[in-house]
Structure 1
Amino acid sequence: MVDVTAEEAADAVGWEIADDQVMVLDLKRGPANALGPSICAGIGAALDEAERHGRIKVVVVSSSLPGVFAAGADIKHMNGIDSESFTAYGDMLRGVLDRLASDRWITVAAVDGLALGGGLELALACHMRVAGREARLGLPEVKLGLIPGAGGTQRLPRVVGRGRALDIMLTARQVPADEAQTMGLVDRLVDPGAAKDAAVRLAKELCSMSMPALRAIVRTVDASFDMAIDEGFRYEVSQEQELFDDGEAAEGLTAFIEKRRPNFA
């Protein structure tokens, strides 16, 4: 089993709430934010707090370590445990990433520096990625005789396509930020060191939107990977209908006509 104390989790991940609706997580486990049990537990504890808070719309994942977002899974931890503990660790990591990838919040990764292995898988679990121009991203697990095991083989092809994903994983190369933006791996590119501030600005912008509509977009886009297009169209219609049923669409349309700011949920 993976046992982490509350103190260890807090030492690995800090968090703060901005404008009552944005939670900003800071990974701070030196020297490279290896995604060991303490960071997993720290992210999980922060998300638990976001749920208790009840008004969080956007979660930003950033790093307080210069030059690194997260440099991978915790190899030292993996190398020193038995198969049962390894499975528990993997389940813990995947569980945290799945929470970030869900439609409970909109999640934004602020990537400055290295995002490698599990670090890139963490960024891929977020709905959007903002990167500094000196960032480098990659999945080098093949060098260790492994494959990306926390969603990388599934999420990366969905973001950049099969060919580019295979190129990144088979060669274990580090993708420069400008190339990452060109292939769609990075959504927004900013000056080095500015990714966190830019991600928080983006988060606040997203908070002005309808949260039910944002969630519906995430659900509908994610569903498109698993549905035939005709089925996807029907699902899209059902999601649109729900926005009329819960009043979000009516509020948005009325506010547009009245030339006022909408009062979205």
Structure 2
Amino acid sequence: MTDTPEPAVAWHVATPGVLVVTLQRPRANALGLPIIEGLTEALDSASARGDIKVVIVSSSLPGFFAAGADIKHMATVDATSFTAYGDALRGVLDRLAGDTWIAIAAIDGLALGGGLELAMACHLRVAGNGARLGLPEVSLGLIPGAGGTQRLPRLVGRGRALGMMLTARQVPADEALTMGLVDRLVPEGTALEAALQLADTLLEMSLPAQSAVIRCVDAAFDTSLEDGFRFEVAQEQRLFEEGEAKEGITAFLEKRPPKFS
């Protein structure tokens, strides 16, 4: 009797409103088609439920968040298949980065190449103090092609982003915190626990308002300052008319916690 191998990705509702997605593809969570398909199914599940406000991406493999793209797979494909692989990876990361939920990366161990691109697609990153992060694609004659060249400069600035990508340097967790690549630094092995605690805080807020914050911050990088101001005003007005602002304001005046949906 042959044991059925574990799926590359597992997910479960940890607490109401919080979906934990666990990468578990030995030996290093290479982001091949099994993980891409697993992430897609996990996000499909979150969308179908309709009550997920926070998605946490974590790993069950000691020493690894995700070590990069699937190099063995890339070595066997032609140009057309390489394009399809890249499109599939970019598609699931862009979906994770949207405004349907707040995504948190819980990083313990190595987050390299596509693994770091996965973490950067999340809105927030919690890292154990033993984590190391990097984009080593130039050592393979490639570039970070799943959003890395665009997301990294927005997080750490042009100079630091170039310094990391041009040299393929791995950044230790404490430096990543200093440069803004990660948002919280915690003891090694506790990134998931800390991400769950952060999720509890996020759940207390209004998701429509949080989603509007994401849209406005993204617009700050894509529009002029004047257009950004106009976009912000439109988002604020929409929240007042259609969002949860009425409940938030009423709760404040009544000195009680708001009851957001």
Task: Give how far 1:256 is off.
Answer: 0.9
Q: In the alignment, does 2:210 pair up with 1:214?
A: yes
Matched with 2:190 is 194
Task: Give how far 1:161 is off.
Answer: 0.4
Matches within 5 A, 1:24-43: 24-43=20-39
With over 3 angstroms needed to count, the CA separation of the structure-2 counterparts of 1:223 and 1:247, relative to structure 1, is closer
Task: Give how far 1:261 is off.
Answer: 0.9
Matches within 5 A, 1:62-73: 62-73=58-69
Task: Give how far 1:257 is off.
Answer: 1.2
Q: In the alignment, does 2:261 pair up with 1:258?
A: no
Structure 1 segments of 4+ aligned residues over 6 angstroms from their partners: none
Q: In the alignment, does 2:230 pair up with 1:234?
A: yes
Task: Give how far 1:247 is off.
Answer: 4.5
Give the TM-score normalised by the residue count of structure 1: 0.96
Matched with 1:184 is 180
Matched with 1:119 is 115
Task: Give how far 1:176 is off.
Answer: 0.4
Q: In the alignment, does 2:72 pair up with 1:79?
A: no
Task: Give how far 1:130 is off.
Answer: 0.1
Aligned length: 258
Distance 1:172 1:237 in 2: 41
SS of the residue corresponding to residue 55 of structure 2 reads strand
Distance 2:164 2:38 in 1: 29
Matched with 1:4 is none
Task: Give how far 1:82 is off.
Answer: 1.2
Q: In the alignment, does 2:92 pair up with 1:96?
A: yes
SS of the residue corresponding to residue 130 of structure 1 reads strand
Distance 1:96 1:73 in 2: 14
Question: For the Cα contact (< 8 Å) 2:208–2:243, is it kept in 1?
Answer: no
Question: For the Cα contact (< 8 Å) 2:209–2:243, is it kept in 1?
Answer: no
Query: Structure 1 unaligned runs (5+)?
Result: 1-6
After superposition, what is the alpha-carbon deviation per residue over 1:98-146, rounded to whole angstroms, capped at 9, x for unaligned? 0011111110000000000000000000000000000000000011111
After superposition, what is the alpha-carbon deviation per residue over 1:178-217, rounded to whole angstroms, capped at 9, x for unaligned? 0000000000000000001111111121011101000000
Distance 2:98 2:155 in 1: 16
Amino acid at match of 1:71: A
Question: For the Cα contact (< 8 Å) 2:12–2:20, is it kept in 1?
Answer: yes
Query: Structure 2 unaligned runs (5+)?
Result: none
Distance 1:262 1:247 in 2: 13
Task: Give how far 1:18 is off.
Answer: 2.0
Q: In the alignment, does 2:245 pair up with 1:244?
A: no
After superposition, what is the alpha-carbon deviation per residue over 1:22-50, rounded to whole angstroms, capped at 9, x for unaligned? 00000000000000000000000000011
Q: In the alignment, does 2:15 pair up with 1:19?
A: yes
Matched with 2:48 is 52
Identity %: 67
